[in-house]
Chain A
């Protein structure tokens, strides 16, 4: 009689552990998916930013020296788009720094807006720079949440994460040019 109770008890525990594991696996799956989408969103915004920078460099609104430096860093960022996360981050930070220098303050931004063939160009660039910053933040938040779950002992013992690589945050300088964001 006593032995039966042990069997029932063990079964209950097994079922409970199984349920917990299945729920956590579902949770991890959701988090991994969120990381995929947030990285994809960041990628979209970064590509849009370098495309806009190239357009502006080619449009003749900048002096030739600024245009050359801007085009160079924008090309660099595009070329690095398939690289590993660290070297891409460095290339994108370079573009950020050039943009900061190219549009240092509100006066400069106003002059550029007047000179631009399409006045919405600067607004597009402002929007994209802000969205790069937001997307990176959201992505790194997702990575942090995922790491928290993956550090749990049961998750590691039962390899609930499968073969998904350990998630990486994206580190880069994403400050939008103050000339564009000042109100």
Chain B
């Protein structure tokens, strides 16, 4: 199947949506499909062979923060040419509501179209002002997909349609065979996430770690992720500091190896998580998971059957859970086995199979994706010119 994928955010700026699209494209290619991605990009040389440059992203204030989006006459022309020359069986647009390449693609194409909504939009102001525009773009889409229950609710509440729930995927094969990054001197407890972002909950883990070290003296705390750790670690006494290793930001392969080296992975987040992809990555790498009992985490951990849960923000409970788990090898291997089974449902190969089912049900007996020239003065002129050229 020939699949065209539209990415709204810059390819070379790390982000959840672009990582999702990269995994999706690579998995579909491995399955033997013909995939092309059009995306905004800062440095076109960094693009993989299956991706096409959709233009430079511009920083604009949008929906309460600064977003890096691509739009304008040039970008529209590039999207149109990509659609015209791509001859796709199906067009897959990500974040159709973001004012970037996605919306341009919706306007420029007709035929079988699928769209995935990632974010849950709480601020309906954007949707109200852009309601008519959003509606006319969305009305062309034959199938809407949501990556989480949260995102699905956005669609149901604000747009009055429904969406198929297809969760985020994990490239399980990249994680399960990862060799451990390092031998640690004792049981390693891992944290992954922005260190200076309070909602990721590092202070709670640090508080618990003091107690854990008192009972398991050779325990090591491994911190992975971007952000400046100095401010958080300033409060930590020097004796404890020697048990903390800061790995900083790691690339995908090293992240997998670091997770594989852990005795326990802890997710002490206090909120703002809609899915919990990191938990799945840890489970895929074979690390037992301890997580705060946020709704999203409880769902991923199957209500505690595939990982231990503790009350949000309760460092004493976290300490007790980790200490108990470190002393119980049997329970740890049980959690690892349960995690491996759990993560299979989120494996990109499974998720991509679900997507293919969606593609197949919108493309059955349909013609390919074509450029849409209706309703646009420029498009009409272009069509007339090609019609004249054909007559001569």
A interface residues (Cβ-Cβ under 8 A, vs B): 23, 26-27, 30-31, 34, 37-38, 40-41, 43-45, 127, 130-132, 134-135, 137-138, 141-142, 144-145, 148, 183
Separation of A27 and B357 alpha carbons in the complex (Å):
28
Which residue of chain A has the shortest Cβ distance to B111 in the bound complex? A37
Other than the known A37-B366, A131-B364, A138-B143, what 16 A-B pairs have Cβ atoms closer than 8 Å? Answer: A23-B375, A27-B136, A34-B140, A37-B142, A38-B142, A38-B362, A40-B364, A41-B363, A127-B360, A131-B357, A134-B164, A134-B357, A135-B364, A138-B362, A141-B162, A144-B160
B364 with A41: CB separation less than 8 A = yes
- Contact call B357/A127, Cβ cutoff below 8 A: yes
* A-B residue pairs in contact (CB < 8 Å), sample of 9: A34-B139, A41-B363, A127-B360, A132-B361, A134-B164, A134-B361, A145-B139, A145-B160, A183-B344
> How many whole Å from A158's CB to the nearest CB in chain B?
18
Please measure, in the bound complex, the distance between the C-alpha atom of A44 and the C-alpha atom of B361, giving whole angstroms. Answer: 9
Among B136, B350, B365, contact of A183 (Cβ-Cβ < 8 Å): B350
Contacts of A26 in B (CB 8 A): 374-375
Give B345's nearest chain A residue, CB to CB.
A183
Complex Cα gap A43–B361 (Å): 10
Report yes or no: A134 in contact with B143, Cβ–Cβ below 8 A.
Answer: yes
Task: Tell me whether B278 is interfacial, beta carbon within 8 Å.
Answer: no
Chain A: minimal CB distance from B202 (Å): 35
- B contact residues around A138 at 8 Å (CB): 142-143, 361-362
Point out residues on B near A: beta carbons under 8 Å: 112, 136, 139-140, 142-144, 160-162, 164, 344-345, 350, 357-358, 360-366, 374-375
On chain A, the residues within 8 Å of B344 by CB distance are: 183
CA distance A94 to B163 in the complex (A): 26
Chain A: minimal CB distance from B242 (Å):
46
The CB with the most chain A CB atoms within 10 A, among B161, B364, B365, is that of B364
**Secondary structure type dominating chain A contacts:** helix
Instruction: Let me know if A144 and B161 touch, CB within 8 A.
Output: yes
Minimum CB–CB distance from A181 to chain B (whole Å) comes to 11
- Checking B140, B162, B365 against A137 with a beta-carbon cut-off of 8 angstroms, the contacting residue is B162
Q: Which residues of B contact A44 (CB under 8 A)?
A: 364-365
Contact A45 B364 (CB under 8 A): yes
- Chain A residues positioned under 8 Å from B364 (CB to CB): 40-41, 44-45, 131, 135
Give every chain B residue within 8 A of A141 (Cβ-Cβ): 144, 161-162
The 3 closest A-B pairs by CB, nearest first: A44-B364, A131-B361, A134-B361
B160 to chain A: which residues have CB within 8 Å? 144-145, 148
A134 / chain B contacts, CB cutoff of 8 Å:
143, 164, 357-358, 361
Residues of chain B contacted by A145 (CB below 8 angstroms)? 139, 160-161
B139 and A27 within 8 A (CB): yes
Known contacts A23-B375, A127-B360, A130-B357; A142/B365 CB under 8 A: no
State in angstroms the CA–CA spacing of A104 and B364 once bound together.
Answer: 28
Q: Which of A27, A38, A134 has the most CB of B within 10 A?
A: A134
Rounded to whole Å, the gap between the CB of A170 and the closest CB of chain B is: 13
Contact B362 A41 (CB under 8 A): yes
A26-B374, A37-B142, A183-B350 are known contacts. Are A135 and B161 too (CB-CB below 8 A)? Answer: no
The residues of A that contact B366 with a CB separation of less than 8 Å are 37, 40-41
Q: With the chains together, A142 CA to B350 CA distance in Å?
A: 27
**What residues on B are CB-neighbors of A41 within 8 Å?**
361-366
Min CB–CB distance A101 → chain B (angstroms): 23
A135 to chain B, nearest CB (A): 4
Residues of chain B within 8 A (CB-CB) of A183 are: 344-345, 350
A31 to chain B: closest residue by CB: B139
CA distance A90 to B289 in the complex (A): 48
A79–B247 alpha-carbon span in the complex (Å): 66
A108 to B336, CA, bound (A): 30
From B142, B164, B357, B361, A142 is in contact (CB under 8 Å) with: B142
Which of B112, B139, B161: most chain A CB closer than 10 A?
A: B139
Q: What's the Cα separation between A124 and B112 when bound, in Å?
A: 22
A144 vs B350: C-alpha distance in the bound complex, in angstroms?
30
Contact of A45 among B142, B161, B358, B361 (CB under 8 A): B361
Considering only CB atoms, which chain B residue lies closest to A142 in the complex?
A: B142
Question: How distant is the Cα of A20 from the Cα of B168 in the complex, in angstroms?
Answer: 40
Interchain CA distance A23-B135 in the complex, whole Å: 13
> What residue in chain B is nearest A138 (Cβ atoms)?
B143
Alpha-carbon distance between A127 and B124 when the two chains are bound, in angstroms: 37
Q: Report the bound CA distance from A131 to B357 in whole Å.
A: 6
Separation in Å of the B169 CB from the closest CB of chain A? Answer: 14
* Complex-state Cα separation, A131 to B161, whole angstroms: 19
The winner among A26, A27, A41, A148 for most chain B CB atoms within 10 A is A41
Check B375–A137 contact: CB distance below 8 A.
no
Contact of A40 with B161 in the complex, beta carbons under 8 Å: no
Shortest Cβ distance from residue A7 to the other chain B in the assembled complex, whole angstroms: 27
**In the complex the two chains form, what is the Cα distance from A144 to B159 in whole Å?**
11
CA distance A130 to B366 in the complex (A): 19
Chain A residues, Cβ within 8 Å of B350 = 183
Q: How far is the CB of A125 from chain B (nearest CB, A)?
A: 13
